[in-house]
């Protein structure tokens, strides 16, 4: 098997594990979001670093919900590079992010953080709960439990959320080991023989040489499944189902989307 095969096997296995083990919290989250949307609320989403990609995948997405508001800091985006790691640990930043948000009691916020131990997602979750919102966390519970908290309170995201969805991804995200002596129990060579200058350890076999991150794939699937279940619940209640369609389809897709989004302008980062 090549790493192509092994990666797809790992992705299928992890998605299967999420489907088999996380149905209860996902159902609970979907019902909370459906209740809020039926009452005129929106779903708020937040993530930092590559978790921001998962959160943003719910926003203005064909086949997704129109009522999604991303809480966004450009300096927490993946394009910000290594600065994201420092900024995500910054105490007090979450309060600043929430100051400009229209957060209403009874609404739901989805906070995405694989590690769940940094200050910003923890404080953002607490700040939303203090404002009367329900917090749904999408995180890696095993990794969070095995990692020291980076907030002085000692709190981690899964401990301050109302509903916790476990992404069941491997610790460190990368799913597939590169075969090498250390993967078969032989300690890695401490000397980087033949390694190109400036790239220490690049060619050295070792236990940290793993590839194939899964959290974006799994997280996007979880968010899409959640939105689908929310739409189903709204339809079952006879409520309006604010689902967007692709702008690239003929038959008035753009006009239909504009009509749906008009109800949420001013609440979902769309201009008034």
Q: What is the DSSP string of 185-253?
A: TPPPPSS-TTPPTT-TTSS---TT-EEEE-HHHHHHHHHHHHHHHHHHHHHHHT----B---TTSTTTH
**Per-residue pLDDT tens digits for 124-155:** 999 999 999 999 999 999 999 999 999 999 99
Q: What is the mean pLDDT of the chain?
A: 90
- pLDDT-derived band at 1 (thresholds 50, 70, 90) equals confident
169 token code pair: 């991804």
* Domain extent listing, the chain: 21-183+200-239
β-sheet bridge partners, residue 69: 44
β-sheet bridge partners, residue 164: 137
58 token code pair: 């719910």
Q: Which CATH class is domain 21-183+200-239?
A: alpha beta
- Residue 208 is predicted with a pLDDT of 67
DSSP state letter for 170: P
Question: What percentage of the chain has pLDDT greater than the value 90?
Answer: 81
Task: Kindly tell me if the per-residue pLDDT of 56 is higher than 70.
Answer: yes
Find all residues with CB under 8 Å of 195, minimum gap 6, and list them.
Answer: 201, 202, 203, 204
SS3 257: helix
Whole-angstrom distance, CA of residue 140 vs CA of residue 222: 13
DSSP state letter for 260: H
Calculate mean pLDDT across residues 227-254. Answer: 93
Whole-angstrom distance, CA of residue 85 vs CA of residue 89: 7
- Residue 252 is predicted with a pLDDT of 87
**Per-residue pLDDT tens digits for 174-216:** 999 987 443 434 344 333 334 444 544 444 445 568 999 999 9
Calculate mean pLDDT across residues 107-128. Answer: 97
Of the candidates 156, 121, 148, 108, which has an alpha carbon nearest to the alpha carbon of residue 46? 121
- Residue 127 is predicted with a pLDDT of 98
- Residue 3 is predicted with a pLDDT of 95
- Residue 272 is predicted with a pLDDT of 59
CA dihedral angle for residue 165, residue 170, residue 173, residue 179, rounded to 10 degrees:
-160
């Amino acid at each position: 098997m090549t790493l192509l095969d092994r990666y797809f096997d790992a992705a299928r296995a992890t998605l299967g594990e999420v489907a088999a083990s996380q149905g209860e919290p996902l159902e609970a989250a979907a019902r909370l979001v459906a209740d809020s949307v039926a009452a005129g609320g929106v779903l708020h989403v937040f993530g930092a670093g590559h978790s921001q990609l998962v959160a943003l995948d719910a926003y203005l997405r064909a086949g997704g919900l129109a009522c999604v508001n991303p809480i966004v800091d450009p300096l927490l985006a993946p394009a910000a590079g290594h600065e994201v790691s420092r900024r995500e640990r910054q105490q007090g930043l979450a309060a600043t992010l929430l100051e400009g948000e229209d957060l209403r009691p009874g609404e739901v916020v989805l906070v995405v953080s694989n590690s769940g131990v940094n200050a910003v997602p923890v404080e953002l979750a607490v700040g939303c709960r203090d404002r009367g919102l329900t917090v749904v966390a999408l995180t890696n519970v095993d990794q969070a439990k095995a990692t020291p908290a980076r907030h002085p309170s000692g709190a981690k995201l899964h401990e301050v959320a109302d509903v916790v969805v476990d992404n069941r991804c491997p610790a460190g995200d990368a799913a597939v080991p590169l075969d090498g002596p250390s993967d078969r129990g032989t300690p890695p060579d401490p000397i980087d023989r033949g390694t190109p200058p400036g790239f220490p350890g690049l060619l050295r076999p070792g236990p940290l040489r793993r590839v194939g991150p899964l959290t974006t794939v799994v997280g996007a699937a979880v968010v899409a499944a959640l939105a689908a279940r929310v739409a189903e619940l709204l339809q079952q209640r006879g409520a309006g189902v604010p689902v967007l369609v692709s702008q690239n389809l003929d038959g008035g897709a753009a006009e239909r989307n504009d009509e749906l989004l008009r109800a949420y302008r001013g609440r979902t980062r769309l201009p008034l």
